Structure 1
Amino acid sequence: MRSATVHRQTKETDITIEINLDGKGISTIDTGIGFLDHMLASFAKHGLVDLMVKARGDLKVDDHHTVEDIGISLGEAYKDALKDKAGIERFGHALVPMDEALAVVAVDISGRGYSVFKADFKHPMIGEYSTAMTRHFIDSFARSAGITINVKIEGEDDHHMVEAMFKALGIALSMATAKNEKRGMPSTKGVL
């Protein structure tokens, strides 16, 4: 089983994440931010990972620390669950439409955490979730996991844009983490 548990506690947040990369898309999410709960559940469902997230953060300030630390913790969980990365596909991509929105996500489980994010949101908030935190979540996750993530989103409805992106991220990671024993270590360097 490719699974991991991560606990991160700071003066601003207390987060526990459990993940099984070979799951069925079952999730239990409680972040204190309703929209983020919905996004992480969509990510797990479409990425076919079993995911438990329990987060408490200083939401009386805003959602920044909570979203950032969930991204960091989820990245650490992915990195831990993948172990040495031998026998994975390494690359994954997805195009996900949601009504007028289209999200394109490509990932490389390279060991090099890097992100590119292109989206123009219309509003600063979706419920209690800051749309600007979408970019920050992707960057925090990418750096912590050692995964290159390239995101491009277009659309008119911010909810649709962000939701399409979380679904696409799950699908792309599912593709990239899929086992293919013929690949061995998927790098000419012999290590990722």
Structure 2
Amino acid sequence: MNTDNREVSRTGTYAWRTGETGGRVSVNLDGTGCFEGGTGLGFFDHMLDSLFRFSEFDGNLKVEGDPGSRHHTIEDTGTALGTALNEALNDRLGINRFGWCLCPMDESLVRVSLDLSGRSGFYLFTDERVISRGETMLEFFRSISRAARWTLHLGVLHAENRHHALEASFKGLGLVLRQASALGRGSRIPSVKGIL
């Protein structure tokens, strides 16, 4: 645990190779919202760009995989990005820890709540007519939460359009990541236990 005042790099990288996908991701929590690279899945890349833009993290992502393996690409990208983010958060010294927002996108309204607690969890509240619990994009939220060791609550409060609901979810995650990872607590770990 880092308890001194020295500068700690808030960056993380992760490289992987599985039977379905492979690639490399790097993140910088103290960036400007620049995202480069992608997965080859147009809509998913648009969602990732939104996440980085609103978190103000910088990211570089290169994923190789079977174009027909959309599910594995999305899930493995979440795992890789979550692992890199967990590394960048280091011991979580001085972070705010919590973030929450209501994020609109036209007719859609999404509530996103995040706790960088060190405990993994993803909890979804949704109207199944718009976003079903089997939605492939939700695999990203599950796998990133597991790998980053955070608790994420995602509530689709109103939506008539799947695209808008998902885009509000990714933008909202970006906003709460910026809020929760911001430094503002000096040299304290934001936990009564003294560890996250």
- Asked if 1:97 is matched to 2:104, the reply is yes
1:121 Cα shift?
Answer: 5.5
Q: C-alpha distance in 2, partners of 1:93/1:44?
A: 16
1:53 Cα shift?
Answer: 1.2
Residue 147 of structure 2, aligned match among 116, 127, 144:
144
Aligned partners of 1:75 and 1:142 also within 8 Å: yes
| Aligned twin of 1:18 | 26
Q: C-alpha distance in 1, partners of 2:130/2:97?
A: 35
- Runs of 4+ aligned structure 1 residues displaced above 4 Å come to 121-124
Alignment of 1:42-191 (within 5 A): 42-60=50-68, 62-120=69-127, 122=129, 132-153=135-156, 154-182=158-186, 184-191=188-195
Q: Deviations over 1:38-78 (max 9, x none)?
A: 00000000110001111112222x31100000000111011
- Structure 2 residues without counterparts, runs of 5 or longer: 1-8
**What percentage of residue pairs aligned between the two structures are identical?**
40
Aligned partners of 1:29 and 1:41 also within 8 Å: no
| Aligned twin of 1:127 | none
Aligned partners of 2:130 and 2:159 also within 8 Å: no
Aligned partners of 2:95 and 2:190 also within 8 Å: yes
| Aligned twin of 2:4 | none
What one-letter code is carried by the residue in structure 2 that aligns with 1:107? L
Aligned partners of 2:95 and 2:180 also within 8 Å: yes
Residue 36 of structure 2, aligned match among 25, 28, 32:
28
What one-letter code is carried by the residue in structure 1 that aligns with 2:168? A
Aligned partners of 1:6 and 1:73 also within 8 Å: yes
What one-letter code is carried by the residue in structure 2 that aligns with 1:133? T
1:123 Cα shift?
Answer: 6.8
| Aligned twin of 1:37 | 45
Q: C-alpha distance in 1, partners of 2:126/2:79?
A: 21
> Counterpart of 1:181 in 2: which secondary structure?
coil
Aligned partners of 2:100 and 2:114 also within 8 Å: yes
What one-letter code is carried by the residue in structure 2 that aligns with 1:175? Q
TM-score (norm 1): 0.92
What one-letter code is carried by the residue in structure 2 that aligns with 1:27? F
What one-letter code is carried by the residue in structure 1 that aligns with 2:85? Y
Over the aligned positions, Cα root-mean-square deviation in angstroms equals 1.7
Over 3 Å counting, the alpha-carbon distance change for 1:123 and 1:185 in structure 2 is closer
| Aligned twin of 2:5 | none
What one-letter code is carried by the residue in structure 1 that aligns with 2:25? I
1:183 Cα shift?
Answer: 6.3
What one-letter code is carried by the residue in structure 1 that aligns with 2:155? K
| Aligned twin of 1:128 | none
Over 3 Å counting, the alpha-carbon distance change for 1:122 and 1:15 in structure 2 is farther
> Counterpart of 2:96 in 1: which secondary structure?
coil
